[in-house]
Amino acid sequence: MTAKIIDGKIIAAELRGRVADEVARVKREHQLVPGLAVVLVGNDPASEVYVRSKHTQTQAAGMASFEHKLPADVSQSDLLALVARLNRDPAVHGILVQLPLPKGLNTEAVINAIDPAKDVDGLHPNNAGRLAGGFEALSPCTPLGCIILTKSVHASLEGMNAIVIGRSNLVGRPLVQLLLNENATVTIAHSRSRDLPGLVKRADLVYAAVGKPEMVRGDWLKPGATVIDVGINRIPKDDGKTRLVGDVAYQEALAVAGAITPVPGGVGQMTVACLLVNTLRAACAITGLPKPAV
Which of 98, 204, 229, 247 is an active site residue? 98
Q: How far is the CB of 196 from ligand NDP (least distance, A)?
A: 6
Would residue 119 show up in a list of annotated catalytic residues for this protein? no
224 is known to lie in a ligand binding site? no
| Pick from 19, 35, 97: nearest CA to 273 | 19
Write the DSSP string, 7-20.
Answer: -HHHHHHHHHHHHH
Q: How far is the CB of 231 from ligand NDP (least distance, A)?
A: 4
- Residue 140 backbone phi and psi in degrees, to 5: -55, 145
Q: How many CB atoms lie within 10 A of CB 269?
A: 22
Alpha-helical regions (H) of the chain: 8-30, 45-60, 76-88, 107-113, 125-132, 141-151, 172-181, 196-201, 250-254, 267-286
Q: Which helix (H) or strand (E) holds 207?
A: strand 205-208
d(CA 54, CA 105): 23
Q: How far is the CB of 66 from ligand NDP (least distance, A)?
A: 22
> Rounded to 5 degrees, what angle do the CA atoms 180, 183, 187 make?
50
Would residue 121 show up in a list of annotated catalytic residues for this protein? yes
Would residue 54 show up in a list of annotated catalytic residues for this protein? yes
With respect to ligand NDP, which residue has the nearer C-beta, 32 or 271? 271
d(CA 95, CA 32): 17
167 is known to lie in a ligand binding site? yes
166 is known to lie in a ligand binding site? yes
Q: How far is the CB of 34 from ligand NDP (least distance, A)?
A: 21
Instruction: Note the residues at the interface with ligand NDP (CB under 6 A).
Output: 142, 165-168, 170-172, 189-193, 196, 209-212, 230-233, 267-268, 271
Which of 57, 115, 118, 121 is an active site residue? 121
10 Å CB burial of residue 272 (0-12, 13-18, 19+) is buried
Alpha-helical regions (H) of 182-226: 196-201
d(CA 65, CA 57): 9
Q: How far is the CB of 190 from ligand NDP (least distance, A)?
A: 4
- Residue 223 backbone phi and psi in degrees, to 5: -55, 135
- Which residues does the annotation mark as catalytic? 54, 98, 121
Known binding residues for NADP(+) are 166-168, 232
